[in-house]
Structures are given as C-alpha cells and as structure tokens.
Amino acid sequence: MSVESEVSLDGKKLTIAIKGRFDFGSHQTFRDAYERYYKVPELYVVDLKETTYMDSSALGMLLLLRDHAGGEEAQVQVINSNSDVRKILAISNFDKLFDIN
C-alpha cells in the first residue's frame, strides 16, 4: 500500500493517490500525506484509481481529511473509484459529504 501526494503549481489543489489496500494499516501514511503541507490547499482530491480494497477505517480516514480540510466548508473530491469502492461509498451515503465520481 502506498500513498502519493502531489500539489498543483499554484498550491491550491492537493491530490492524494492511494495504491493498494486502503485500510486500517494505511492510517499514518494517509495522514502524513496531507498533514505535512503547511499551506492549506483549497481543494483536496483523493484518487482511488489504483485502490484495490477499501473498508470502514478508510471511510473514517476520509472523514479525518474532511475535518482537516475545514469540516462543513471543506472541498474534497473522491475520483476514479471502481465499482466495489463506489458501492461502499454509496451504502454509507458518503456522496452527501464528498464529491464522488
């Protein structure tokens, strides 16, 4: 499991790509990916293209990111989810909190 983060040139968008299993073991790595930027981006993008598996701890981690990004005012997108991942996001209705596609 690995996490890669990339900031856009103007510093306004942070993209975090999760490769492999997004579960309990990813906790620290995921947090490091967004906590280490002292400049706060306006938009966060979580790219799940290469995410093979996601469980409820991953949902919790998304909530942590959202909280870090400003809670109700946060702009967090979740992109490139495969059908399994989308199912998990759908059943917990996380599309009401995150922009999912």
Partner 1 sequence: MSTLAPAPEALTILIAEDSATDLLLLSTIVRRQGHRVLTASNGEEAVEVFARERPQLVLMDALMPVMDGFGAARWIKQLAGEELVPIIFLTSLRESAALAECLDAGGDDFLPKPYNPLILAAKINAMDRLRRLQATVLQQRDQIARHHDYLLHEQRVAKAVFDKVAHSGCINAAPNIRYLQSPYALFNGDLLLAAYTPSGDMHVLLGDFTGHGLPAAVGAMPLAEVFYGMSAKGYGLVQILREMNAKLKRILPVDMFCCATLLCLSTQRRVVEVWNGGMPDGYVHDIASGKRTPLQSRHLPLGVLSAQAFDDRTEVWPMALGDRVFLLSDGVLDTADANDQLFGAVRLHQVFAANRDPDRLFEDIEKALAAFRGEARDDVSMVEITLQPGQSLRATGPLYADSGQSCPLDWAVSFEFRAETLKRYNPLPYLLQLLLEIHGLREQSGALYSVMAELYSNALEHGVLGLDSRLKRNAQGFAEYYRQRNERLAQLNSGFVRVHVQVVPTEAGGKMSLRLEDSGPGFDVEQVLARPLDIDRLSGRGLSLVRQLSSEVRWSDGGRSVCVEFCWGALA
Q: Is 57 in the site for partner 1 (CB under 8 A)?
A: yes
Asked if residue 44 lies in contact with residue 11, where contact means CB atoms within 8 angstroms, the answer is: no
In whole angstroms, the minimum distance from the beta carbon of 10 to partner 1 comes to 28
> Which 3 state secondary structure label does DSSP give 60?
helix
Amino acid 23 reads: D
Shortest CA distance to 97 belongs to which of 68, 73, 37?
73
Q: Is 67 in the site for partner 1 (CB under 8 A)?
A: yes
Binding track, positions 14-53, relative to partner 1; x by CB under 8 A: ----------x-----------------------------
> Which 3 state secondary structure label does DSSP give 21?
strand
Q: Which residues bind partner 1 (CB under 8 A)?
A: 24, 56-57, 59-61, 63-64, 67, 72, 91-94, 96-97
